[in-house]
Amino acid sequence: MARTHVIGDIHGAFRGLTQALQRASLKTDDRLIFLGDYVDGWSQSRQVIDYLMQLDAAYNCIFIRGNHDAWCEEWLGGWGASRDWLFHGGQATADSYAGITLAEQDKHLEFFSRMQPYFEEDHRLFIHAGFASMHGPLAEHHESNFFWDRTLWETALAVDDRIPRDSRSYPRRLLLYQEIFIGHTPTTNYDLDVPMQRCNVWNVDTGAAFTGKVTVMDVGTKNFVQSDTVQHLYPGEAGRNK
């Protein structure tokens, strides 16, 4: 049967991405849902985007926009490089794009423009960061929350396991979906390099930008494979480890 895989944050780790996907033993009818933050960190952001476009031609792929992707898209589109972006991994991305032709730049910009803010299916939500509206993403007032908001994950972490789901005290946002898959907040913040689950929220950002790995998870079974620790795949580079 066709499988759906969800892939966590990559942050320019082309070697980690290809290694993890190879270990996932993909079949031609598998679907790939990427949670965003493809760029900024390690030295191969441009190669990551090139590879994602190749995957898009070979598989059923869905690409969610992350906050770093939004930054990179603005820069590629002619906006000045912000200090925040450069400090948080953008410099490595800018360096990787050195020498790009105008045709290649247009191709990349077209790919960035097709990234989705979130994806819903079968009572599941796939989103980079989260949403603030109690009525769900469709009622969100600020689209940037989809790739910046951390309160959804923080809420899931704070829920007391003793509170039943039918209690008025249970967070309403968490009742809107059977399962929610996110990235954005590295599990290495909690001294883990594997996916984390709290309530019905799965965090698949396993710290590839820092001291963690790229993760590919089977949505149905929750089995997952990972790359090696990414910093070992890029000796001599710091990534986002400042």
Q: How many helices (H) and strands (E) does the chain have?
A: 9, 10
* β partners of residue 31: 4, 60
Q: Is the pLDDT of residue 173 over 80?
A: yes
Q: Is the pLDDT of residue 91 over 90?
A: yes
Q: Is the pLDDT of residue 111 over 80?
A: yes
**How far apart (Å, rounded) are the C-alpha atoms in residues 212 and 108?**
27
Q: pLDDT value at position 24?
A: 98
Closest by CA to 34, choosing from 59, 241, 25, 22, is 59
Q: At 58, which helix (H) or strand (E)?
A: helix 45-58
Q: Is the pLDDT of residue 142 over 80?
A: yes
Q: Is the pLDDT of residue 149 over 80?
A: yes
Q: pLDDT value at position 203?
A: 98
Q: Is the pLDDT of residue 219 over 90?
A: yes
Mean pLDDT of the chain: 96
Q: Is the pLDDT of residue 239 over 80?
A: yes
Q: What integer is the mean pLDDT of 170-188? A: 97
Q: Three-class SS of residue 236? A: coil
Q: What integer is the mean pLDDT of 22-51? A: 97
Q: pLDDT value at position 82?
A: 87
Q: How confident is the model at residue 70 (pLDDT cuts 50, 70, 90)?
A: very high
Phi and psi, residue 128, nearest 5°: -70, -50
* β partners of residue 203: 182, 196
Q: How confident is the model at residue 16 (pLDDT cuts 50, 70, 90)?
A: very high
Q: pLDDT value at position 201?
A: 98
Percent helix, strand, coil in the chain, to 5, is 35, 15, 45
Q: pLDDT value at position 79?
A: 87
Please give the domain boundaries of the chain with CATH numbers for all domains.
Answer: 4-231 (3.60.21.10)
Question: Any idea of the CA torsion for 143, 151, 208, 177, to the nearest 10 degrees?
Answer: -80
Query: CA angle, 34 as apex, 71 and 46 as ends, to 5°?
Result: 50
- Tokens (6 digits) for 221: 């079974």
Collect all residues with Cβ–Cβ distance below 8 Å to 115 and sequence separation of at least 6. 36, 63, 64, 65, 69
Q: Is the pLDDT of residue 1 over 80?
A: no
